[in-house]
């Protein structure tokens, strides 16, 4: 006999916002570990004479390992829960950073940054932190995702200049050690102690709604979800004929090509056009700050006008910023065009990431969503694998970034079309009710 649902008092503090705060801080340190490679590349080139193309290949290996691991991590996430796997990602990033003290050969970078760091970011990075958002939010998913991802921007803003300063004061080896110690002794324990798998673990329901008593229908629904095949192969076979799946894949490829190419080369690019190391690091940090605002405001915008439209608007801003970046040398350099690039590009990339991630949850929410996010990260990683070494090798041979930056503009333009197509599919599908 079914029991009657009984509403309980609405919780004063919804634990989902604590999960968002944890993701914000964790992503700041986890993702900036990868993005800071651009800052460490400058002393690597100066001390060891390694080419930009070779260093870009090491960066790409990290993205490749991250991408290939992500679907399997997503499957593990759905079967074991976030608390069982995500703290290990922080631990591996800490270990790779601490071991950076001993780097004296290029293969050390490929192993530590490329393999160990790549697996660490797959276990606790962009993919896993966005994959758990549908567990906690429905109506406010865009805002929650935007705030979580804004941790990346704040990390770039605060941690990038901090890392550059540590390198200047102590050298790059001790800078790696200091960063690794923070992740090991602060971020890793916090990830384990604070993380919870679902709102039900703390007696709440999604979006902070009052918890309700379980009914027989809930038991049946839970049993059906438990029988869903969450293997990587099964999920792919189910989705391979869905055009929305492939549109999302391209969207993430474009984001990955853009983000990783720009972040891996921007420090070197601004030094080339006459900026000091410190000024170039500040530009990188400022992009992070505006990305933070773009993530939050873009997530809000997506909640209001549709997450596909929000993604398209943000992508237009990204392309305007990229065009301006290409024009900086012809404008004589200086702070004004750099500042304009920071504002336009930062808002765009923040909004594009937040709206795109929330849109994936809208379309594919369910017991296999973690695996689907893993597939999107394969495409994101593929963009990261191709972009940085391509940009590095083009610069090595042409002394210019015109070709790779123009490719970014082309891919982002196609992603605008993909986002609008996905928005149309969202309008056509029935709206999900909060569970």
The predicted-structure confidence for 282-318, as pLDDT tens digits, reads as follows 777 677 778 778 888 888 888 888 888 999 999 999 9
pLDDT at 320: 95
Helices (H), 274-306: 277-305
**Which residue bears the tokens 């605008």?**
416
Query: Residue 1 has what pLDDT?
Result: 43
What pLDDT, on the 0 to 100 scale, is given for residue 229? 52
What confidence tens digit (pLDDT) does each residue in 400-412 have? 888 889 999 999 9
Give the residue ranges of the chain where pLDDT is below 70: 1-11, 211-231, 285, 333, 427-435
Highest CATH level, class, for 15-202+241-427: mainly alpha
Q: Which candidate, 216, 213, 140, 147, places its Cα nearest to that of 434?
A: 140
Is 347 in contact with 299 (CB distance < 8 Å)? no
End-to-end Cα spacing for the chain? 21
Coil, strand or helix: which one is 105? coil
pLDDT given at position 371: 79
Distance CA 26, CA 19 (A): 10
Write down the pLDDT at residue 429: 53
Angle at 14 between CA 152 and CA 151, to 5 degrees: 5
What is the structure's pLDDT at 96? 95
DSSP-derived 3-state class of residue 7? strand
Domain ranges of the chain: 15-202+241-427
């Amino acid at each position: 006999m079914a029991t009657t649902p009984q509403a309980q008092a609405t919780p004063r503090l919804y634990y989902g916002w604590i999960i968002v705060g944890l993701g914000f801080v964790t992503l700041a340190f986890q993702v900036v570990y990868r993005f800071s490679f651009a800052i460490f590349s400058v002393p690597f080139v100066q001390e060891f004479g390694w080419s930009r193309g070779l260093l870009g290949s090491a960066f790409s290996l990290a993205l490749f390992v991250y991408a290939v691991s992500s679907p399997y991590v997503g499957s593990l996430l759905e079967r074991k829960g976030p608390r069982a796997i995500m703290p290990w990602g922080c631990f591996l990033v800490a270990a790779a950073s601490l071991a950076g003290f001993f780097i004296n050969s290029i293969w050390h970078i490929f192993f530590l940054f490329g393999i160990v760091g790549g697996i660490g970011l797959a276990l606790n990075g962009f993919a896993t932190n966005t994959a758990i958002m549908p567990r906690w939010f429905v109506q406010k998913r865009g805002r929650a995702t935007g705030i979580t991802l804004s941790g990346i921007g704040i990390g770039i803003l605060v941690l990038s200049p901090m890392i550059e300063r540590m390198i200047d004061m102590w050298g790059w080896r001790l800078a790696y050690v200091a960063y690794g110690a923070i992740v090991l002794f602060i971020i890793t324990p916090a990830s384990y102690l604070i993380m919870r798998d679902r709102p039900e673990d703390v007696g709440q329901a999604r979006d902070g709604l009052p918890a309700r008593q379980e009914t027989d229908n809930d038991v049946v629904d839970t049993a059906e979800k438990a029988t869903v095949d969450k293997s990587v192969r099964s999920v792919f076979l189910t989705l391979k004929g869905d055009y929305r799946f492939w549109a999302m894949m391209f969207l993430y490829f474009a984001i990955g090509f853009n983000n990783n190419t720009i972040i891996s080369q921007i420090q070197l690019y601004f030094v080339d056009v006459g900026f000091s190391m410190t000024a170039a690091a500040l530009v990188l940090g400022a992009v992070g700050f505006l990305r933070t605002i773009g993530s939050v405001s873009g997530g809000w915008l997506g909640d209001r006008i549709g997450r596909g439209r929000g993604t398209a608007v943000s992508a237009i801003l990204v392309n305007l910023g990229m065009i301006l970046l290409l024009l900086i040398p012809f404008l004589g350099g200086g702070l004004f065009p750099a500042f304009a690039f920071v504002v336009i590009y930062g808002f765009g990339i923040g909004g594009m990431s937040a709206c795109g991630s929330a849109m994936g949850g809208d379309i594919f929410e369910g017991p296999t969503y973690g695996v689907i996010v893993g597939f999107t990260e394969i495409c994101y990683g593929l963009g990261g694998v191709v972009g940085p070494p391509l940009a590095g090798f083009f610069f090595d041979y042409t002394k210019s970034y015109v070709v790779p930056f123009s490719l970014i503009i082309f891919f982002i333009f196609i992603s605008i079309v993909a986002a609008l197509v996905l928005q149309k599919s969202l309008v056509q599908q029935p709206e999900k009710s909060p569970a």
